[in-house]
Amino acid sequence: MDDDLGTAGALAALFDLVRAINTARDAGIGGAPFLKAQGVLRELAGVVGLRLAPAVRRSQDIAAFVELLIEMRSALRQAKQFALADRIRARLVELGITLEDSASGTRWKTRSS
């Protein structure tokens, strides 16, 4: 342990890779290059003793919750509680979920959709 293992530099490089992967995801880039970058991140993290589990986000799992929030938002709008309804919409946007209101109802999509 008297030798400098370069741990700080290794962690900085991992954070840079995470930032690049997140930027690519936010730009809508996916597919094989994206999955390869995630695999490289997990492999490199393993070198310094970190185990990264893949983040699983199943649209089926979140769909029921988003639909519930849409129902609540609709009820709030009918009760003229616009500030709270807008707050729900804003928080969903922060979480990567966009609501589209129309005459036929509210539809939603995730940032990656």
pLDDT given at position 59? 56
Measured between alpha carbons, how far is 35 from 53 in angstroms, rounded to an integer? 13
Q: What pLDDT, on a 0 to 100 scale, did the predictor assign at position 8?
A: 80
Residues β-bridged to residue 100? 107
Q: What is the pLDDT along the chain (113 residues), one digit of tens a residue?
A: 455 667 788 888 899 999 998 888 888 777 888 888 888 998 999 888 888 876 655 556 688 889 999 999 999 999 999 999 999 999 999 888 899 999 999 999 887 65
